[in-house]
Amino acid sequence: MDFIGLNKSLERMLISPVYLFYGEETFLRDEYIKKFVSLIPDEINDFNLDIIDARESDIGSIVNSASTLPFMSEKRIVIVKNADFFKSRKKSAAEDKDSNKNDKQNPVDDVLLRYLEDPLVSTCLIFCSDSVDKKRRTYKILEKKGQVVEFLPLKGQHLNEWIDRRARKLGKTIEPAGMAGLITAAGNNLWQLNTELEKLSCYTRTGKITAADVELMISKTSERSIFELIDAIAERKYERAIKMAREMVFLGEPVIRILFMIARQFRLLLLTKTLLQHGNDEKSLAKLLQAHPFVAQKCAKQARNFSLLELKAAMTKILAADSDIKSGNREQVHALELLIVSLCEQE
Of 97, 126, 150, which marks where a domain is finished? 150
Per-residue pLDDT, averaged over 172-183, amounts to 89
C-alpha 245/C-alpha 335 separation (Å) is: 12
pLDDT value of residue 219: 58
User: What count of other Cβ atoms lies within 10 Å of the Cβ of residue 143?
Assistant: 16
pLDDT value of residue 339: 93
Asked if residue 81 has pLDDT above 70, the reply is: yes
pLDDT value of residue 95: 45
Q: Are residues 102 and 126 in the same domain?
A: yes
Q: Confidence band (pLDDT; 50, 70, 90) for 222?
A: low
C-alpha 104/C-alpha 18 separation (Å) is: 20
Q: Are residues 284 and 196 in the same domain?
A: no
Q: Are residues 206 and 262 in the same domain?
A: no
Which ranges of 204-289 does DSSP label H, i.e. alpha helix? Answer: 211-217, 222-234, 238-250, 255-277, 282-289
Per-residue pLDDT, averaged over 145-168, amounts to 91
pLDDT, greater one: 44 or 346: 44
* CB-based burial, 17-27: b 16+ in 10 Å, e otherwise: bbbbbbbebeb
pLDDT value of residue 32: 92
C-alpha 109/C-alpha 134 separation (Å) is: 14
Per-residue pLDDT, averaged over 248-263, amounts to 83
Domain count for the chain, please give it: 3
Is residue 325 a contact partner of residue 335, using CB atoms and an 8 Å limit?
A: yes
pLDDT value of residue 273: 92
* Torsion angle of the four alpha carbons 303, 304, 306, 307, in this order, in degrees rounded to the nearest 10: 110
C-alpha 218/C-alpha 213 separation (Å) is: 8
pLDDT value of residue 94: 47
Task: Write out pLDDT tens, residues 300-311.
Answer: 888 888 899 999
Asked if residue 216 has pLDDT above 90, the reply is: no
C-alpha 308/C-alpha 11 separation (Å) is: 49
Number of H helices, E strands in the chain: 18, 7
C-alpha 67/C-alpha 121 separation (Å) is: 9
Give, as one character, the DSSP assignment of residue 331.
-
pTM over 0.75: no
Q: Are residues 46 and 184 in the same domain?
A: no
Q: Are residues 211 and 327 in the same domain?
A: no
Q: Which residues contact 99 (CB under 8 A, 6 or more apart)?
A: none
Asked if residue 168 has pLDDT above 90, the reply is: yes
| Percent of the chain topping pLDDT 90 | 33
Q: Are residues 29 and 141 in the same domain?
A: yes
C-alpha 132/C-alpha 130 separation (Å) is: 7
Q: Are residues 205 and 253 in the same domain?
A: no
The residues facing 174 across adjacent strands are: 209
Task: Write out pLDDT tens, residues 82-133.
Answer: 988 888 765 544 444 444 444 445 677 788 899 999 999 999 999 999 888 8
187 φψ region: left (φ > 0), alpha (ψ -120 to 50), beta (else): left
Q: Are residues 36 and 14 in the same domain?
A: yes
pLDDT value of residue 278: 87
